[in-house]
Amino acid sequence: MINFKTLQCKQELMKAWSNNEKIALYLRLRFEKARYLATEEIQLVSSSPTSPTSLTSSSASSSLLHFNASNSSVVTSPTSNSCKNDIGLYIGKPPSDEQKYELLTCHFEPDNEFIWPYKERLIITGEKTITEKRYLKQSHLNEFKWLKYSPSQKGLFCIACVRFTVSTTRVSSYGKLVEIPLDDYKHLLGKHGDLILHQKTNYHLDCMVKMENFLYIYSKKPEASVELLMDKRLQKEIAENRARLKPIIETILLCGRQNFPLRGHRDDGDVLTNNDSSSKEGNFRALLRYRIEGGDTALKCHLGTCNKNASYVSKTAQNELISIIGNLILKQVIEEVKSAQFYSILLDETGN
């Protein structure tokens, strides 16, 4: 094990080797130092950040320092992972609309006692070994309203893209801020910063629009939903069609109760304009005209605006409506017979 406390030995070795050998030795020194720190579990004391970047020497901390291939680490807050409104708990698990609204409006927000996480990296420059820290700050969350910190995943997510990306784009993999947390705080801002680049993507812009529409529809204007508007329009159309058919069906029922024949010698032509009584039209058309003269505006509006093949007063429409009415009467009679405990059948005959 190389003793890093004595830098003089390191200097002497570096002078003795050629340039290529210096590079190999330098890489070996970095590897040995990382392994030494990991095995000894050296801890670094986390302090409150005063700037996005701070350079300090190695010190103790409440969190164990783990090194990756780039000789860097992430020190996170010991905040509890049991937060209910945590976007990290719903990655790959689509919530209900109510849960989605709670996540968008009442997501976990760091309080005054929150210990902000930071990205840490060891830098070896000549004879000095220093630690560079890049903190996540409240200003980042304030500047980007879609940015949320997940205590369970210990990283950042775009709450709009996590919830609405699947339904707005066909991109198969989104990476950080969407599928996996962003826990490297070294390059958040700037022209090529992670947050700036993500904010300019097309799928992010689409998701932001979808999120705003969801919040607007769910909380403020539920009657403005496209589904509700289509349903209301359909219900209105159904009510109008029933109002058009009601006087026609009532006229057929009246003829049936009074045993009036519906059709006459001529049942063609427009009901509204054909006022010639010598046309020998049937009782059905005569009763319809009588209703219109008596003030039935719904029937008058229907016959005056409908297409010729949608007036429901032709002989074909009459036969179809009579058949439907007959089936309903037969169904009602059968239900009454089935519900009765006893019933009788009366048979009659005629001499001819």
Q: What is the DSSP letter of 218?
A: I
250: confidence class by pLDDT, cuts 50, 70, 90:
very high
Q: What is the pLDDT of residue 126?
A: 72
- Residues 6 or more apart whose Cβ sits within 8 Å of residue 131: 44, 55, 56, 57, 58, 59, 120, 121, 122, 123
- pLDDT by residue (tens digit) across 111-147? 777 777 777 777 777 777 777 777 777 777 778 888 8
Looking at per-residue confidence, does 331 or 311 come out higher?
331
As a whole number, the mean pLDDT across the chain is 72
CB contact at 8 A, 133 and 49: yes
- Alpha carbon distance 27, 33 (integer Å): 10
Question: Of 213, 110, 228, which Cα lies nearest the Cα of 160?
Answer: 213
Residue 87 pLDDT greater than 70, yes or no? yes
Q: Is the pLDDT of residue 151 over 60?
A: yes
Q: CA-to-CA distance for 11 and 230, rounded, in angstroms?
A: 79
Q: Which residue has the tokens 């340039």?
A: 19
Predicted pLDDT at 319: 92
Q: Which residues, at least 6 apart from 33, have a Cβ–Cβ distance to it below 8 Å?
A: 2, 4, 122, 124, 129
**Full-prediction pTM beyond 0.75?**
no
> Above 80 in pLDDT, residue 305?
yes
Residue closest to 196 by CA, chosen among 182, 214, 209: 182
Coil, strand or helix at 86? coil
Residue among 120, 186, 111 nearest 149 (CA): 111
Q: Are 248 and 241 in contact (CB under 8 A)?
A: no
Q: b/e map of 221-257 (b: 16 or more CB within 10 Å)?
A: eeeebeeeeeeeeeeeeeeeeeebbebbeebbeebee
Contact 48, 77 (CB under 8 A): no
The CA distance from 289 to 283, in Å, is 10
Would you state the structure tokens that stand for residue 13, as one six-digit string?
A: 């070795």
Q: Measured between alpha carbons, how far is 156 from 177 in angstroms, rounded to an integer?
A: 6
How does pLDDT run across 313-343, given as a tens digit for each residue?
Answer: 888 899 999 999 999 999 999 998 888 888 7
Smallest Cα–Cα separation from 188: which of 138, 240, 246?
A: 138
